[in-house]
Structure 1
């Protein structure tokens, strides 16, 4: 007789004595009613209210995770799971675990991950604060869809089913609430097949552990850090172009357009903006290189081009060329100054262009060295 479970249900737990026993029993009954061999694993995160004992009494297998955090508890429980299909849910009775077989059935259609959509299903009165339902979740889900080319209704649902093989491809690392975002982002990056099924979301029994602004910020921060193209590259390119516009346009002299007079003050601002933009741009390249080096992202066209064409020598030569051009303009200013007997000289326009080019060249040299360091890490991995 084969006693190996087909489905493992993982419930993280921190002081959920009011509900954990009911959740365990509900999950076990749902699996039995659908003819699925299953187990329920409660990953306790340091409860002091007797939750582990209640979970054991209800029929769960209890594992203990000493590191605090939503992600830590889930990772511990998932590692302990023995089945090829894993379902994750909260132990606070907000999810109807009788719906687990529906997620598993959808998973068996060939998907790698199935999400229980609260926003596409039924949210009972009092189950979700207005701010979460109409602002936080839609905005974060929309941003995630936009940044990572997904089409989800509810990316932050806590009821999910996935295959062990699919999960192992994600290589998840975060330990806090952003674990939920990391899972979806990594699923998109790894091109897993993801589906959603509508579910019913219930009011929580007891005090919620969610902190609206703190947890929302952690999700938003993680999404942006996983998308250096939008956080760094696009703003960086825009700033470089915006900065060089007045430097080039005003290099020969002031401009008058209608009632507006543009002089070297705009060149000073342009120089600062261009340098800030180049710094932001190189940070974006480094960020993408880091993600690729750590298998957090597949190389896109930019990274594929860099991997094929970038060498430290080419980077150093490019930066050196900009530096020498800037120094050349500076030498020209010095020669003019010498020709005028080292008297007062106003060469601010040329000086700003020279300074911007020289500093940009230095930035490119440093950026090339650091990018080369990241590529060494890539080759050693």
Structure 2
């Protein structure tokens, strides 16, 4: 199955990530404008490299989804904060027909792996998602799996940091069974462009709130 890895300057982390990819999992590294040779390293290590010039996490995810061809597609960060060897934990329930979307619930294994400001922002959004959409999730985890055809059918529109939340919101609205599986969360290689700074976290939260607001308008507008 295909594994989409949005990538922006992850040269330090990519070797560890790609060398731990489980058998039967094809990495698709979507380079989103790296200047550190991430694309070259990914290609040398055997990954499929897709270049997405339009900046944005959602833009990179969408480009990877379009490049994928497997029935089940996975997404995960390329920064070594998640171990690819745990991908079967999220793909297994999808393959078995137990859920249509499975998110990896992050369990930090070291101090500082998940900064407090990022964890708080995630908790607030997850709680709001549980209340407004009835989805029993505690984490909007970046490691996730679903069927490619179904995801394309959701027609996700966000091309920024709201993409992961929009996936869950639209999946719930479509009647998908959404589940979680615990995965280890490791200290990432290098500094995060999002959770590593308060500013980055606030930007991501802003994008996700916009997704929730849009969904609210969709559910309250007359048919």
Q: For the superposition of Structure 1 and Structure 2, which TM-score range results when normalised by the shorter chain?
A: over 0.9
Residue matched to 1:114: 102
Determine which of 147, 170, 174 is the counterpart of 2:154: 170
Matched, 1:184 2:184: no
Q: Check conservation: 2:52, 2:59, Cα contact below 8 A.
A: yes
Specify every segment of 5 or more residues in structure 2 that has no aligned partner in the other structure, as ranges. Answer: 195-199
Q: Check conservation: 2:79, 2:188, Cα contact below 8 A.
A: yes
Matched, 1:153 2:119: no
Specify every segment of 5 or more residues in structure 1 that has no aligned partner in the other structure, as ranges. Answer: 1-6, 231-283, 290-302, 304-381
Q: Check conservation: 2:108, 2:114, Cα contact below 8 A.
A: no
SS of aligned partner of 2:79: coil
1:71-82 equivalent positions in 2, closer than 5 A: 71-82=58-69
Residue matched to 2:85: 98
Q: TM-score, normalising length from structure 2?
A: 0.92
Residue matched to 1:142: 127
SS of aligned partner of 1:200: strand
**Following TM superposition, where does structure 1 have runs of at least 4 consecutive aligned residues deviating by more than 4 angstroms?**
none
Between structures 1 and 2, the one with greater helix share: 1
Partner Cα separation in structure 1 for residue 25 and residue 209 of structure 2: 35
Residue matched to 2:18: 24
Structure exhibiting the larger radius of gyration computed from Cα positions: 1
Q: Check conservation: 1:78, 1:86, Cα contact below 8 A.
A: yes
Determine which of 176, 179, 201 is the counterpart of 1:212: 201
SS of aligned partner of 1:226: helix
Matched, 1:8 2:2: yes
Partner Cα separation in structure 2 for residue 102 and residue 150 of structure 1: 19
Aligned residues: 217
Residue matched to 1:200: 184
Residue matched to 1:227: 216
CA drift at 1:221: 2.4
Offset from partner CA, 1:11-60 (integer Å, 9 cap, x none): 01111110112212211xx2x2xxxx331100111111100010011110
1:132–1:38 distance in 2 versus 1, CA, 3 Å = closer
CA drift at 1:122: 4.0
1:1-381 equivalent positions in 2, closer than 5 A: 7-27=1-21, 30=22, 32=23, 37-110=24-97, 111-118=99-106, 121-133=107-119, 135-154=120-139, 156-210=140-194, 211-228=200-217, 288-289=221-222, 303=223
